[in-house]
Structure 1
Amino acid sequence: MKRSLLLLIILVFGFNQICAQLARRDSLEYQIKKQRSEQGFSPKDSTFISLLNNLGSELRYYKTDSLLALSQEAYKLSVDIGNGHTMGESLVGIGNFYSDKGDYDQAIKNYQKALNATKQLENKHLTLTILNSIAGAYDFKGDYAEALSGYLECIEIATQIDNLTMLSIVNENIANLYAAQKDFNQAIEFFKTVKKINKKIGNEIYAAETMSNMASVYADMGNLEYAMFNINSSITTFEKHKKMDWLAYAYEIKGKTYLKEKDYKWALFWYKQSEMIHKNLEDDRGETSLLNGLSEAYFGKEKDSLSEQYALRAYDISKKIKFHEETQRSSFILYKLKKNKGDFDSALAYHEIYQTLNDTLSANKNEKNLTMLVTKLEYERQKESLMAENAKALASQKRYIYAALFILVIFLIVTLIVRRNEKIQKRLNTELYDKTAELVKNEKELRDINETKDKLFSIIGHDLRGPIAAFQGLLKLYRGGEIDGKEFLQFIPKLGADIDHISFTLNNLLSWGRTQMNGSVTKPGIVSLESLVNENINLLDETAKVKSINIVNKLTTKTLTWSDNDQIDIVIRNLMSNAIKFTPEKGLITIDAIERSSNWEVSVRDTGVGIDIETQKKIFNKNSNVTTYGTNDEKGTGLGLSLCKEMVEKNNGKIWVESFMENGSCFYFTLPKVNNKFQKAG
């Protein structure tokens, strides 16, 4: 009875809140409509453009497409009148749209354009908003070091202009950043700083937002009393001021707190209140966390069917917006659900996804924790160094004043000292210049070594540990008696594919490692491309048959090149493997060659999904880490094409690609022909 009454109150209250937010939107829409109807109206008016930007901001979590459309319209009008302020605001709106959709690179691109558009205005308040948005996008993207650096720059500017609101926002963003790294103690320290700033501001909504985030951290720490106190206080404020997006978040955190207590009944109740509000929101990031919470609560109540429905929705949305932490969370729930149902194939697949994400996130978090610490220490060091230099400069000015008085008495002595100091300074500057040049050279060499090391460990950690961990997990299930021999044999094809993937990855990795360490020597000789292609067709035949892909070799016996047999074998194998990976079932792969005056132009053409223009620009880069799942979720290292480029160029050839989305790709490379001179040498 009490629960029904409480639900009725919340339903009525939620309806009133939605109506209030609609009234605010209606007010902005009315003002826009009114201005349009006025005689002599011109859309090229800064007040009208600001109304468009404000309405877009209001619709951000309700109608995201309207946010984009209004921001784009405002931007076009701003460009026409050359108004940098409204141009910057509209670009921030466009950036917010892409950030909410998980396209963080596009978001950062628009935020940077906003920064450039407002550069001449000297409006530090708007600049702060843009810099905070850029740092936030890096935060969501997972580049925590860049995010922290941006937030620290914001704090510096906000302190200079005494902008308490932005100081509160930025410090809270840093707190959330540490919370994402599970450094809860450091997060709470920043939240305490935020609470002090909020007290000076005197805005109870800001205070409630901070308390909501603190409640989430306290729940993760297991300090459930503090979590419940903070979330109850914030809910009261959000209900009072009708902050629907934050109220949805607060209800979710209250559900999360009950979930930590294993009180699944009340956890579901509060999650459902949040879900009801989310029906009127368009906030994929917040919805993903909510759906996983609902799934875990239903799992706790042993309602596996409902739990699976919510987990699958969370999995799909989190993958779409690249929210890896929530993808990992939902894949682990799905693993447990599939295991309970006896669907071991699906369970193993989800466990492998969970394990791969866990390894990646753990590695990234360890690396990012160190990077964040180094970045912060470097920032503090530079700040202290600058303060020390300023102090020295002030002391120096005082000394110059005293010296000026002293010069009147002993001008000749001072002149001799100054000349002597000039000679010493010149010598020191020369030494400093030489040492700086040497440091720059050493830094470049160290950066190259670190890049090679980072890529090596990334490939080993991401592409090798996942399949091996899955194999180990299966063996553990078999040894523990959770699956019998017959069930174990059902996994053999999947394990065979994983072993093939490991073997292929290791071959590429060893070849790439030799090239990076200058240990790969090119030994040219007469190579029959037709034979190499046939050998690789035989090698990859089983993989192609799985997808019913037909491979056609149009090369003839006269296709002879002067090149290194082993290196060109690696090139052909990688290109054919990629073609199989990105070609759907019943596709066609054709290998052909055209004879030119001094070389053979070889082509590997597929009927696959194609490659977009941006990816084509960087897939051959040495430091590129472009890796994509194939049409059947096949994995790759992101290493093969850069390795192909190195191998082809070592053999005096070139490599390039032509591709259109949904129309397949064609990779070309050239190799020297065998002429009479080479044949005699052979």
Structure 2
Amino acid sequence: MNIKYTFPQKKFVLLFLLASFVCIEVQSQILRRDSLRYQIRRIESKNDFNPKDSTYIKLLTDLGKEMRFYNSDSLFLISSEALTLALEADDKYGQGNSYEGLGSYFEDQGKYGEAIKYYKKSLAISEERNDYVKILEIENHLANVYRYMGDYAESLKLFLKSIEYAKLLGDDKMLSILNENIANLYVNQENYEQAVQYYKIVKKINQRIGNEVYMAETMSNLASAYAEMGEFEYAMYNINSSIGVFEKHKIMDWLAYAYEVKGKTYLKNKDYKWALFWYKQGEMLHKNIDDIRGETSLLNGIAEVYLGQGKDSLSEHYALKAMDLSKKLNFKEEIRKGTMILYKVNKNKGDLETALDYHEQYQAINDTIMAHRNEKNLTMLITKLDFDKEKEQLIIENEQALADQKRYIYAAMLLVGIFLVVTLAIYRNKKILKNLNDELQSKTLELIEHEKELRASNETKDKLFSIIGHDLRGPIAAFQGLLKLYRNGEIGSNDFLQFIPKLGKDLDNISFTLNNLLSWGRTQMNGSSTKPSAIALENLVIENINLLEESASTKSIQIVNKVFGNTLCWADGDQIDIVIRNLISNAIKFTPENGTITVSVNERGPLWEISVKDTGIGIKEEVQKKLFKKNANITTYGTNDEKGTGLGLSLCKEMVEKNNGDIWVESTIPKGSCFYFTLPKMRNNLKKAG
């Protein structure tokens, strides 16, 4: 029902809302919304109070924004009231903020058409006012709405465009937000590895900003991605760090989300007791906030916990609540999750008819999501390529404009030379020609560099397709063939189960290969630069030993760490982390059961020499010569038939050399192998800087 208010009535409703949302904060901490209410009341209490005052309107829109995840109806009423006042006062800034508030309200209600309409009104006003910061904020809102609608191409295009503007403005805050939202796009496509890379970019931006709340928000999203990937230790580290910050600052909507992520981490690890504890913490917070999208995911999580505990009636109760909210928002991912839970619950109850109905619903929406996911992955790739082409075309046009400008300069200089030929012509022409020659030489060098980059890009793509065709297509095709035989009834369940260990090994190999492939592809195609800093080798070694300890223990392999304190070097920490991880992983792969792997470090003048030695099967001399070659594609098998592509060692070589080091191997069959690499010590770099 639509109710129209006169201004006095609206003011009464507004005052009632302002007076009704008073909460008691721990340690008497005053939240921002309480401060805004106080300022609004002070202005309203003055004898010369004018509701059309721009300061008053701004306070209203600020309060509406703060109420977004606490009471969405308040956001709508306050934004509507502020819009009426701003229109009467011809306050463009207030109008833009009010339209933004209404867009946020309809976005949260799942009414995306209305949200886009109001966001575009706000965008038009911001463009009219040349408010570039606000333009970035609104385009970020619009990109998120397109993401919720499933239009990933338009969403990604807006994000990429906004990132370029944010770089020009030097706006680190928006750069952080925009890159994080691109990461969320990849999360929606379950491309968690790519999402993690973007989250790491955001973490570095947040470190520049120095805002611990921004960092905590990113770490929460990063923890969620790690939980989906099964990296529970990384997930728990990030989520525990973020929870402390949100509790400290009383940011309840993000704290509820953080509790949910921690619950999900325990759920993925099948620790239902602690999963339920943290989900319940989030549920209590949701009673005082208004975040339907977040509540939907939380309810399905609780339903999954109860299902795991065998409490089917409670699981059904929460799943049905989540289903109602999911359908209201047309939240397909959560609808899919809910139908699967309800299918399992009804199957357990023996209500096979209802179970079958839910399973059919699940299958239908799952087929739709998977079909759209492949299409959207391709769409995102094409959008990224088109954007890069447009960017490259713009560079070419700018260079052409610069060339035209040079011609004008030449003509002007010629005229000047004619008029000044008697006095300064000869001297100035020589000087000008020298400057132009220097600039031309510089441009020529730039063109040569561009040509090298293009050639390297082509080599990279050839390498990527070679690896995909040679080492990934085979195991995947085998998996598909086996499933086809099983579906056609050509092999039975018992025969199929005999292949499970082999399939598990193949999938582990595919996962590890893809991780290396993504890391190597980024260094080649994205032109990522090496950013050295002071890093402690002992920390990287300990982290990777802990990470790979489970793989070693399955083969009863002992990893001995002889890298102790005071091993600071000057290198890119992310790249050296990949090198150490690959070398230890390879050693585990090629070491038989009950073997030993030793990680050591020795001083070699201005360098640290790091070694990873195993008691494995050793490497033939002819293979050693090919290990580190750029275009080599060596397929090898570990002691338990683990498969490798040789890509990891190629990646290690590139990263070590980018950090001014060398890498080599010494091996004796069948006694084992020892891989060495060097890195510069930190103190040498400090001396150079002085």
Smaller-chain TM-score range? 0.5 to 0.7
Aligned residues: 402
Aligned with 1:261 (options 257, 269, 276): 269
- Counterpart in 1 of 2:212? 204
Determine if contact 2:227/2:235 at 8 Å carries over to the other structure: yes
Equivalences for residues 322-341 of structure 1 within 5 A = 322-341=330-349
TM-score by length of 1: 0.57
- Counterpart in 1 of 2:321? 313
Report whether the alignment pairs 1:164 with 2:172: yes
Distance 1:168 1:195 in 2: 8
Question: 3-state DSSP class of the match of 1:118?
Answer: helix
Distance 2:320 2:369 in 1: 21
- Counterpart in 2 of 1:564? none
Aligned with 2:229 (options 215, 221, 234): 221
Aligned with 2:85 (options 72, 77, 90): 77
Report whether the alignment pairs 1:57 with 2:65: yes
Distance 1:280 1:171, change over 3 A: same
Aligned-pair identity (%): 56
Distance 1:279 1:165 in 2: 30
Aligned with 2:391 (options 373, 383, 397): 383
Q: CA offset at residue 157 of structure 1?
A: 1.5
Q: CA offset at residue 236 of structure 1?
A: 0.9
Report whether the alignment pairs 1:356 with 2:364: yes
Determine if contact 1:18/1:244 at 8 Å carries over to the other structure: no
Aligned with 2:126 (options 103, 118, 128): 118
Equivalences for residues 561-572 of structure 1 within 5 A = none
AA aligned to 1:55 is L
Kindly provide the CA deviation profile for residues 420-468 of structure 1, in whole angstroms up to 9, marking residues without a partner as x.
xxxxxxxxxxxxxxxxxxxxxxxxxxxxxxxxxxxxxxxxxxxxxxxxx
Report whether the alignment pairs 1:92 with 2:100: yes
AA aligned to 1:370 is L
Question: 3-state DSSP class of the match of 2:44?
Answer: helix
Question: 3-state DSSP class of the match of 2:253?
Answer: helix
Kindly provide the CA deviation profile for residues 461-483 of structure 1, in whole angstroms up to 9, marking residues without a partner as x.
xxxxxxxxxxxx9x99xx99xxx
Aligned with 1:278 (options 273, 280, 286): 286
Q: CA offset at residue 120 of structure 1?
A: 1.6
- Counterpart in 2 of 1:373? 381
Give the unaligned 5+ runs of structure 2.
Answer: 1-22, 419-486, 494-690
Q: CA offset at residue 16 of structure 1?
A: 6.6
Distance 1:141 1:22 in 2: 37
Distance 2:271 2:130 in 1: 53
Report whether the alignment pairs 1:194 with 2:194: no
AA aligned to 2:376 is K
- Counterpart in 2 of 1:447? none
Distance 1:402 1:202 in 2: 48
Report whether the alignment pairs 1:239 with 2:247: yes
Distance 2:268 2:324 in 1: 25
Distance 1:161 1:357 in 2: 42
- Counterpart in 2 of 1:566? none
- Counterpart in 2 of 1:30? 38
Aligned with 2:145 (options 126, 133, 137): 137
Distance 1:128 1:191 in 2: 20
Determine if contact 2:180/2:202 at 8 Å carries over to the other structure: yes
Distance 1:19 1:144 in 2: 44
AA aligned to 1:82 is D
Determine if contact 1:20/1:242 at 8 Å carries over to the other structure: no
Kindly provide the CA deviation profile for residues 68-106 of structure 1, in whole angstroms up to 9, marking residues without a partner as x.
000000011111111111111111111111111111111
Equivalences for residues 267-666 of structure 1 within 5 A = 267-402=275-410
TM-score by length of 2: 0.56
Distance 1:368 1:77 in 2: 43
Q: CA offset at residue 395 of structure 1?
A: 3.0
Question: 3-state DSSP class of the match of 2:267?
Answer: helix
Determine if contact 1:17/1:244 at 8 Å carries over to the other structure: no
Distance 2:31 2:211 in 1: 22
Give the unaligned 5+ runs of structure 1.
Answer: 1-14, 411-472, 481-682
Distance 1:21 1:405 in 2: 68
Distance 1:95 1:327, change over 3 A: same
Distance 1:339 1:126, change over 3 A: same
CA RMSD, Structure 1 to Structure 2 (Å)? 2.4
Question: 3-state DSSP class of the match of 2:122?
Answer: helix
Which of 401-410 and 247-256 deviates more?
A: 401-410
Kindly provide the CA deviation profile for residues 309-356 of structure 1, in whole angstroms up to 9, marking residues without a partner as x.
111101111001111100110011000111111111111111111111
Q: CA offset at residue 223 of structure 1?
A: 0.9
Kindly provide the CA deviation profile for residues 251-309 of structure 1, in whole angstroms up to 9, marking residues without a partner as x.
10000000111000000011011111111111110000000110101111111111111
